[in-house]
Structure 1
Amino acid sequence: MGGGYGEGEAEGRRFAVLLCAEDSEYVKKVHGGYFKVFVSLLGEEGETWHVYRAARGELPPAEDVDAYDGFVISGSCSDAHGDDQWIRDLLSLLETLVSKKKQLLGVCFGHQILSRALGGKTGRAKRGWDIGVTCIHPSHSTIKQFSSLHIPSHLPIIECHRDEVWELPPNAEVMAQSEKTGIEIFRYGYHVMGIQGHPEYTKDILMHLIDRLLQLNLIQNCHAEAAKASVEAGEPNREAWKKLCKAFLKSQL
């Protein structure tokens, strides 16, 4: 079983993060790892949270799945359209979780892999990398449906991706788009939601990620400079994202 968080507190609901990336040294040192970054965004007192390191092949066994109320699928350095064994195993688990109507919240790679598990298509973004603070636009129907959350029509978020959802799964709905990306958020029923951006990221995490991508020659200097400028100029609406993600994951919509 994955590592725990919050056990021993009042018995409450149980959630798990399926971690699809390795922690960077920076995130480990400053934030205690990506798992803690997610729990600080989504966790509440009385809940129990576990982490499964999916990229290492660690997934909840079938007999444990029913014990959880919801799952968060994280970002990754891998491609959601890839065929590594751990990705195939994750897809199989996600299909099971969808059939059990578990609350599933996918972020970046998680958004793309959920789309794939449901029959959608993913691949390299047609407009290339999107890194920095990007303003996305929820649809009128989304704003209306979730009126109790008071979601603004302009919703800045931290982005860091070069892949995207090309084609929605059957019966899924686009909830938001941006200038670069046609499917920023999608929903499938009331139990699956994918978000292309990173509601859990802080600006410092992104700044260090930009430097790492530059060192690995995955982006050019001009990309890095533009991304850093957008981070300095813009502010992600962390509170709005926190409300939306928590309300969805905890079936309060």
Structure 2
Amino acid sequence: MKIEGGKVKKYALLLAAKDSEYVKKMYGGYFNVFVEAFGDEEFGEKWDLFRVVDDEFPEMDQLINYDGFVISGSPFDAYGNEHWILKLCILLQNLYFMQKKVLGICFGHQVLCRALGGKVGKANNGWDIGLRKLNIVKDFSTHSFLSDLDEIPLALSIIECHQDEVWEVPKGAEIVAISEKTNVEMFTMGDHILGIQGHPEYTKDIVSNLIDRLLSNGSIQSEFAEAAKSKLYKAEPDRKCLEKICKKFLKREMEFINSNI
């Protein structure tokens, strides 16, 4: 086991969804899916799980011990007023002012935006499920966490599964990627906030099973489900590149800290 800089880094997954039976059976739960995608076992990292959807949160005095946080997707609306969602917004505001690294995925991307002053709501163009091409609209290399990453392509394919979206980013945020379906696919705030609407952690089988569940509960129609699956299996998501982006974001030390925040 290799420990970088003599310090074991510590991360937390803020899980905003219950484990599906499929993911429990195939992966042992969403926690394992995220750690597999974003973790680096060789560096002796420690990852903790907080099921925020079940009102399980880290204590305030624990936050200082973590190097970064990841917020998962969720079947809940990021603009909802459930107690745990409001509590999560307060937590995210605290993490922002502490300048902790926070990565939001799908619902996490949206609730992060909401907590920091942006606007989220139902997607104007309805459900987006399957593979989607993202267009990078900002020079990502200007961020210190990606300064030594190989050149990032101007277009990336990512797995999507959402019917809500970010309408307006918080003040001071920068939109990094858009798509023909969604105006805010990725956004950053400095080097410590990153939101991604799609799912860099998802495998095709996970989203295929999710499509089946959405069809069975009446959330989507059969023609839509068939089209989403067909599109999903015609091409490959750029998982390796997206995982690299997320890992670099979470693990690279910030080069500048604004002492006025």
Shorter chain as normaliser: what TM range?
A: over 0.9
Alpha carbons 1:120, 1:167 under 8 Å: kept: yes
1:15 to 11, 14, 18: 11
Distance 1:252 1:62, change over 3 A: closer
1:233 partner SS: coil
2:130 partner SS: strand
Alpha carbons 2:138, 2:177 under 8 Å: kept: no
Query: What's the CA shift for 1:151?
Result: 1.1
Q: How far apart, in 2, do the equivalents of 1:60 and 1:103 lie?
A: 15
Matches within 5 A, 1:132-171: 132-142=130-140, 145=143, 146=146, 148-149=148-149, 150-171=151-172
Q: For structure 1, list consecutive stretches of 5 or more residues without a partner in the other structure.
A: 1-9
Name the residue aligned to 1:63: 61
Is 1:121 matched with 2:119?
yes
Is 1:237 matched with 2:235?
no
Matches within 5 A, 1:101-250: 101-142=99-140, 145=143, 146=146, 148-149=148-149, 150-250=151-251
Q: How far apart, in 2, do the equivalents of 1:65 and 1:143 lie?
A: 29
- Provide Cα deviations, 1:52-75, integer angstroms capped at 9, x if missing partner: 000000010001110000000000
Q: How far apart, in 1, do the equivalents of 2:58 and 2:148 lie?
A: 34
Q: How far apart, in 1, do the equivalents of 2:59 and 2:148 lie?
A: 36
Query: What's the CA shift for 1:11?
Result: 5.4
2:139 partner SS: helix
Distance 1:144 1:55, change over 3 A: same
- Provide Cα deviations, 1:108-161, integer angstroms capped at 9, x if missing partner: 000000000110000000000000011111114225654632211110000000
Q: Which moved more, 1:156-165 or 1:224-233?
A: 224-233
Q: How far apart, in 2, do the equivalents of 1:12 and 1:238 lie?
A: 26
Q: How far apart, in 2, do the equivalents of 1:141 and 1:242 lie?
A: 18
Alpha carbons 1:103, 1:251 under 8 Å: kept: no
2:195 partner SS: strand
Name the residue aligned to 2:77: 79
Name the residue aligned to 1:6: none
How many residues of Structure 1 are paired with residues of Structure 2 in the alignment?
244
Alpha carbons 1:143, 1:153 under 8 Å: kept: no
Alpha carbons 2:120, 2:165 under 8 Å: kept: yes
Name the residue aligned to 1:27: 23
Name the residue aligned to 1:41: 37
Is 1:100 matched with 2:101?
no
Alpha carbons 1:11, 1:47 under 8 Å: kept: no
Distance 1:178 1:147, change over 3 A: farther
Alpha carbons 2:12, 2:69 under 8 Å: kept: yes
Alpha carbons 1:138, 1:153 under 8 Å: kept: yes
Paired letter, 1:244:
I
Query: What's the CA shift for 1:222?
Result: 1.7
Backbone CA RMSD of aligned residues: 1.3
TM-score (norm 1): 0.94
Distance 1:147 1:225, change over 3 A: farther
